Amino acid sequence: MATLVTFHAHPDDESIATGGTMAKAAAAGHRVVLVLATKGEHGEVADGFLDPGEEIWERRVAETHRAADLLGVQRVAFLGYVDSGMMGRPTNDAPGSFWEADTGEAAARLATILDEEGADVLTIYDDMGTYGHPDHIQVHRVGVLAAERAGTPRVYEATANRDDVRRALLEARQGGLEMPGGLDPDNLESFGQPEALITTAVDVSGFIDAKRAAMAAHASQIDETSFFLAMPPDAFARAFGTEWYIRRGVAAGTRETDLFG
C-alpha cells in the first residue's frame, strides 16, 4: 500500500478537486493525508451563520475534519498560513498570507510532512491554480519545490479538463439548464487545462456519494442551494465523476487512470 498526500489551499478545495480520488485511495487501503495551506479565513457567510464569538476559520476547520472523515483521510495538517483572498484584493499582501509566503519556507513545512509520511504520491494544482486564485497558484509553486526536496516520486497537478467542461456546459445548454457558476462554454481559456495536456483521468463515479457528502460538509461555503449541490444527481455525477490530473515529468501523450501506477 502507498501513501497519498493531497495539498490544497483552503478547506473545501480538497472535496471539490480530489475528494473522489481520496475516497477511492482510502477504500483501496492506501494511507491518505490532507494538507491545507490556510484555514480559509476570508470565506464569506451570511449574517447569523456563525455562533456568537465564533470565527469563520474555526467553523471551516471543523468542516474540514468532518469532510476528511467522510473521505477516509487519516491525517489532516495545516501549514499555518492565512487565506490570501481572491486575486487583486488587499488581503493578498497582508502579513502571513500564503501568497506572500516565502516559497522555500513553505516548501520546507510541506516537505517535513512528506518526509514524515514517506509520501509516494503528492497532488497539487496546475501552474495557474485551475482558475487563477493566488493561493492555488502558490500551492503549485510550493508543492513542486517540496516534492523535489522530499524526493516524492509521483506528483500530480489536479486540474479541470477544459474540453470536457465545455462539452458538459453545452449539454446543459442544449437541455435548457442554467450555466452553473457563471461558466461560459465559449469562454474557458483561463479555466483548467486543455484535454491534450491531461495525463490522468481517475474514474471516481463509485465514490460520488462520498464526494458529494464531503462537499456538503463544508456548509459554510457550499450550501444545498449552491450550483454544486443543487445539480440533479445525474448532472452532479457527470460534472464530478472524473477527476483530472497532469502527472509531472512524464512524456507527452501519457494516459493513466490512477495515481499509483
Indicate whether 176 belongs to any domain: no
> Rounded to the nearest 5 degrees, what angle is found at the Cα of 24, between the Cα atoms of 62 and 236?
75
Indicate whether 178 belongs to any domain: no
pLDDT of residue 179: 57
Indicate whether 180 belongs to any domain: no
CATH of the domain at 14: 3.40.50.10320
pLDDT tens-place values along the chain, 261 residues long? 999 999 999 999 999 999 999 999 999 999 999 999 999 999 999 999 999 999 999 999 999 999 999 999 999 999 999 999 888 888 898 899 999 999 999 999 999 999 999 999 999 999 999 999 999 999 999 999 999 999 999 999 999 999 998 888 888 777 766 655 567 776 788 889 999 999 999 999 999 999 999 999 999 999 988 878 988 898 899 989 999 999 999 998 899 999 998
Supply the range of the domain harboring residue 88: 3-159+198-244
Indicate whether 151 belongs to any domain: yes
Is-contact 204 71, C-beta < 8 A? no
Indicate whether 261 belongs to any domain: no
To the question of pTM greater than 0.75 for the whole model, the response is yes
Q: Is 59 helix (H, G, I), strand (E, B) or coil?
A: helix
Q: Is 81 helix (H, G, I), strand (E, B) or coil?
A: strand
Burial 132-151 (b: 16+ CB within 10 A, else e): ebbbbbbbbbbbbbbbebbe
Indicate whether 136 belongs to any domain: yes
Indicate whether 39 belongs to any domain: yes
Contacts of 232 (CB under 8 A, 6+ apart): none
pLDDT of residue 165: 85
Indicate whether 187 belongs to any domain: no
Measured between alpha carbons, how far is 144 from 192 in angstroms, rounded to an integer?
A: 18
Domain total of the chain = 1
Tell me the chain's radius of gyration from C-alpha atoms.
17
